[in-house]
Amino acid sequence: MNNNDIGRKISELLLQINQKLQHPYLMRFIDEPVIDEDKLLLTYIMLKDKELSEIELEYYAVSTMLVQVALDTHEKITSHDLSGEYDKKNRQLTVLAGDYYSSLYYYLLSEIKDLSMIRTLAQAIQEINENKMQYYKNENQSIENSMENIHRIESSLLLKTAEHFHLPLWKGIADEFTFMKRMLMERRSIQNNTYTPLVAKIMNQFNRSKGGWLSLKNQILEVVDSYILHSKIRLEKLWAEEPVMHLMLEKRIEQYIEQSGFRVKKYAEEG
Amino acid sequence: MKLTTIYSHLRNDLSTIENDLEKTIEAQHSILQDASIQLLKAGGKRIRPVFVLLSAQFGKYDVDRVKRAAVALELIHMASLVHDDVIDDASLRRGKSTIKAQWDNRVAMYTGDYIFARSLEYITHLNKLEAHKVLSEAIMEMCLGEIEQIREQYDLDQNIRDYFRRIKRKTALLISVSCELGALAGDAELHVQRQLKQFGYNVGMAFQITDDILDFTSTEKQLGKPAGGDLQQGNITLPVFFAMRNPDFKARLESVFDNQPIPQNVMEELIRDIKAMGAIENSKGISDRYLKKAFKALRQLPDNRAKRSLKQIAEYIGRRNY
């Protein structure tokens, strides 16, 4: 299967998932659900390594992505008071949309009678929510612990799927790829002076009285860059063991690097 | 007779269920653990596990097997309550602080998702493929039902059939599934499974109609929230459908809905009118019809203690006043 074939298949799967997510009334009020195409690509490529029928592969990829969309949908729920009727309805229906998408994964896997995969994805959801809670509620945790939470939040779903299908190499790739992408996104936000929860967590560990925002921003970027570099090195090692299938993923990550302004050389020189 | 007295003979097995509920919601994060425990300790009638256990007694009863369905169904119910409180922006449930009020919406979302995932993991150990088909369809339907409920809020032109479809999805389905899964887990014969499913459906419908009646007839103390709460949220329930047969009442409601929230004195007047128009008695009549169908389904089943308990529970639901 070449890159074009994979690209075509991913488009087909995106269409399938999108059809399942569509609900006319929900769509009038909630934000359009976003399917993480990188996670879909990762899931598809890694499952391609197993001798699964095309139908089975589709079921697993679609179910896994439905869980991801469900979790991402619930992530949009905020806690502040709302006054406008539209905003209230948006929140109510966002909760229900997430629940509905989550029910679809159970329904699909029940259709193909795969109880062990239902269990695997359920365990991943638990792990993700445990880590989300730690990340959200432990304000003074160390940077290292925060980064570990991000690792688990981003990768548990794919990691557990890789484990389920006995794909140890893909476990590592999924872990590093999803983490590195998130870090590159965070970097981009910091560059644009967006105050993300990660920024707050890193700042908590610094002495804030010294220097202005610019100096602080550089310090924060330094921390984030060190994690990006670490992930990049790990990923390159893992990709060397998987010389063919990773090329599309490598291309994707290069795009994110470009957009984030991360420079290995510059970092190495300064560091 | 109290509900707990009716199923007192299940005390040991219910205690097994309670222990498993507690074990299943164990979490590493302290807030996740505390929120889940708070939810569990808030009580509830455990009516779904009771239906599972009783229904399983029509087959080969093995509590270690049957508990897979009983615990999972209660957890699914609990998870849905946590998210419902976010949807309703509710600070109190059964007179106690909700998770979203004690912590915040985000914590409630994580807790609900966590408990739901625990329930699915737990029930996968029930190696009955048919059970998963039934349950997954029911959960999907329940979600769709809640979406419909929001769509139909404040809509005075909706049909009474919309109401019945809504309460079927909201309540009757999970009770019906509790009976069906109990029978399935106990390997009861197919016709027994079907009758128990029917029984559960009809009891569930009566249960929800009774709940909707009590929302107008109970005191704030009994409900743990102000009376007329459903109407305040724009939910048109059976007593309101009956009251709306009077065009003046419907027109009044229309104008009241234009100026939300409904002031306390106006709500009291509306409740008085609903009662005066016989809407409560009419609704009770419909609830009784569902109960009769439930008893009819029961008559098709072999005589045993479980059957007697199911009958008593249905009777209790018919006469409960809070």
C-alpha pair distances (Å), A160 with each of A64, A74, A121, A250: 10, 21, 7, 22
Chain B residues whose beta carbon lies within 8 Å of the beta carbon of residue A125: 113-114, 116-117
In this predicted structure, what is the pLDDT of residue A172?
A: 94
Tokens representing B112? 């609900």
Residues linked to residue B96 through DSSP beta bridges, in sequence order: B93
Q: Average pLDDT for residues B156-163, to the nearest whole number?
A: 96
CATH code (residue B119): 1.10.600.10
> Are the CB atoms for A161 and B149 separated by under 8 Å?
no
Mind listing the pLDDT tens digit for each residue in B6-58? Answer: 888 999 999 999 999 999 999 888 999 999 998 888 878 899 999 999 999 99
Mind listing the pLDDT tens digit for each residue in B255-269? Answer: 999 988 899 999 999
B89 contacts A88? CB cut-off 8 A: yes
DSSP assignment of B37-65 equals: HHHHHT----HHHHHHHHHHTTS---HHH
Name the least confident of A6-10, B219-223, B298-302. Answer: B219-223
C-alpha pair distances (Å), B8 with each of B2, B305, B306: 10, 12, 12
Domain count, chain B: 1
A74 contacts B86? CB cut-off 8 A: no
- Regions of chain A short of the pLDDT cut 70: 207-210, 265-271
- Residue B277: HSE in the Cβ half-sphere, 13 Å Cα cutoff: 21
Mind listing the pLDDT tens digit for each residue in A212-232? Answer: 778 889 999 999 999 999 999
- pLDDT confidence band for B322 (50 / 70 / 90): low
- Best residue in B26, B75, B84, B87 to probe A by mutation, most A CBs within 10 Å? B87
Question: What is the average pLDDT value for chain A, to the nearest integer?
Answer: 92
Better pLDDT: A248 or B140: B140
- Beta-strand ranges (E) seen in B31-144 are 92-93, 96-97
Q: How far is A257 from chain B (nearest CA, A)?
A: 31
Closest CA to B52 of B44, B43, B61: B61
Integer Rg of chain B from CA: 20
ipTM score here?
0.94
Mind listing the pLDDT tens digit for each residue in B180-220? Answer: 999 999 999 999 999 999 999 999 999 999 999 999 999 88
Q: Give A210: exposed, middle or buried? Use CB within 10 Å, 0-12, 13-18, 19+.
A: exposed
In this predicted structure, what is the pLDDT of residue A263?
A: 87
Tokens representing B36? 């889940």
- Polymer length in residues for chain B: 322
- Best residue in A66, A82, A110 to probe B by mutation, most B CBs within 10 Å? A110
Q: Global pTM? A: 0.94
> Are the CB atoms for B216 and B280 separated by under 8 Å?
yes
Chain B residues whose beta carbon lies within 8 Å of the beta carbon of residue A133: 29, 31-32, 107, 110
Buried b (16+ CB within 10 A) or exposed e, B69-94: bbbbbbbbbbbbbbbbbbbebbeebe
Tell me which residue range forms the domain holding B175. 3-318
Q: How far, in Å, CA of B233 to CA of B235, rounded?
A: 6
